[in-house]
Structure 1
Amino acid sequence: WDLERALEVFDWTVGFLRRELYLNDDGLTRAIIGTIRDVDAYQLPDAKGYSSFLRYLRGISEEDRKGEREEILSTSLEDFEEFASIIEAVNGFQLL
């Protein structure tokens, strides 16, 4: 990917979050449940050990994982609008 393509994706993301993503409370709840399901997916013992080893190497603690779960569970519809605003602000920043 080049920088121009990355900026196009950021522009598209803002448009998607503002105009095309139609989330209501029910849709948000389903999205949160799906995300938590992915984060806490069942793993066989060998995969669980491997995942734990990778988290150890990356310095990810159980407290970090708990915090991530709490952030996911507390996501609101307003968070999507705020995220779009942040991306839009970054897109508007000119280095040259």
Structure 2
Amino acid sequence: MNALHIDLRGHDLETLDDFWDAVTTPCGLPTWFGRNLDAWWDTIDTRGISELIDRHDQLIIEVDARGLFDGTNPDGHRLAETFDGETNQLRVHPA
């Protein structure tokens, strides 16, 4: 399987804006990307937004279990729900 693997461990990801800033370049997001969960869902599930993501069968994003992904942040939880666990994976590692 041809995977786009993005390792964001060590990045300070406290907010959704921090996440959008961190994934914009490595995911090849266009300048008009909406920076919201609906736009992200369209990008990783429906496709057609990022040519870079579209060229891969799978997207894997690795993050630390802190800040946005500490398990208590509602925005982090909603973001995590956009990943299907197969084609699009969010891997949260102990901090």
Indicate whether the TM-score tops 0.5: no
Structure 2 length-normalised TM: 0.25
Relative to its length, the structure with more helix (as a share) is 1
Structure 1 length-normalised TM: 0.25
Higher relative contact order (CA 8 A, sep 6+): 1
Relative to its length, the structure with more strand (as a share) is 2
Larger CA Rg, structure 1 vs 2: 1
